[in-house]
Amino acid sequence: MDLGLKNRRAVVTGGSKGIGKAIAYELAMEGVDIAICARGDNELQQTAAELRRQTGRNILAIPLDVTVQTAVDNFITTTVKEFGSLDILINNAGSPVTGTFEEVQLDQWRQDLDVKLFAPIYLIHAALPHLKRSNQPRIININSIVGRQSTPEYIANSTDRAACLGFNKVLSDNLAKYGILVNSINPGNVKSEAWDSTIEYFSPNEELEQWYETVSRDTPLGRVAEAEEIAALTAFLASKRASYITGASIDIDGGLTRYI
């Protein structure tokens, strides 16, 4: 199936590993040129070299702290200067903060809001003039099911992710007049470095594979997701096949959530 993505240009934040890396690979395999960013430069450059070798596409890798607005502005400017245009923005940066209200420190609340909510705002603000000029513009926010089904041990993450879902919906209304489609993908449990780090809080005495088996028992499909499955949905939403989908909040969780 032709997704109609060849020669599009995309930005993927948090693109050096995990879900972000899988998304960058999926889009590049569809013929998209990608700008990836992350805080750690060594891993970022290794990922970029790997993606170039595997896909043959133009992969731009720039170290970036997405919570610094001026740095975000420079990143988008550099990307558009390199590619000539921008069609797709994937907001993916951010790892889960674990802990109950009494366990999460006040500075952690601020840091999490900066990464989960304000960073996408900075990126969209910087990218918007360029997305307006695209004939197939997309903004896709990688969120989490905890924004819709709260979890006591994820109080900061649940709160921030819920705010992101509200932002996603209202933004889709604001930008529809430009033909910019805005959607949220809400993964459940995913095999990725970010999610793996939570084992230290939830089950410090288990090995990682045992932890996967434990959480899989609550999932109707009986397993955790692969990052590539999140990437496949992202590519679809970025494509011409999803031309009438905007303002959507799509769970990809193996049936884990129970709301209707």
Q: For 131-151, how does the pLDDT look when each residue is reduced to its tens digit (9 = 90+)?
A: 999 999 999 999 999 999 988
Measured between alpha carbons, how far is 252 from 237 in angstroms, rounded to an integer?
A: 13
Query: Taking the CB of residue 39, how many other CB atoms lie within 10 A of it?
Result: 14
Are the CB atoms for 33 and 11 separated by under 8 Å? Answer: no
Evaluate whether 123 touches 72 at the Cβ level (below 8 Å): yes
Q: What is the percent of the chain with per-residue pLDDT over 90, rounded to a whole number?
A: 85
Tokens of 95: 């790892």
Q: For the segment 217-250, what is each residue's pLDDT rounded down to a tens digit?
A: 999 999 999 999 999 999 999 999 999 999 999 9
Structure tokens at 107: 């500075």
| Inter-residue contact 125 to 136 (CB < 8 Å) | no
The pLDDT of residue 203 is above 80: no
| Closest C-alpha to 8, from 131, 153, 165 | 131
What pLDDT score does 205 carry? 80
CA-CA-CA-CA torsion sign (165, 240, 73, 48): positive
Pick the closest to residue 188 from 147, 155, 152 (CA basis): 147
Q: Which pLDDT score is estimated for 179?
A: 99
Mean pLDDT of 2-31: 98
Between 103 and 210, the higher pLDDT residue: 103
Average pLDDT, the chain: 95
Distance CA 44, CA 60 (A): 10
Q: What domains are there in the chain, each with its CATH number?
A: 9-188+226-252 (3.40.50.720)
Residues recorded for the chain: 260
Q: What is the mean pLDDT of residues 116-132?
A: 99
What DSSP designation does 187 have?
E
pLDDT tens-place string over residues 60-101: 999 999 999 999 999 999 999 999 999 999 999 988 899 999
8-state DSSP, 146:
G
pTM, two decimal places = 0.96
Query: Which helix (DSSP H) or strand (DSSP E) does residue 10 occupy?
Result: strand 9-13
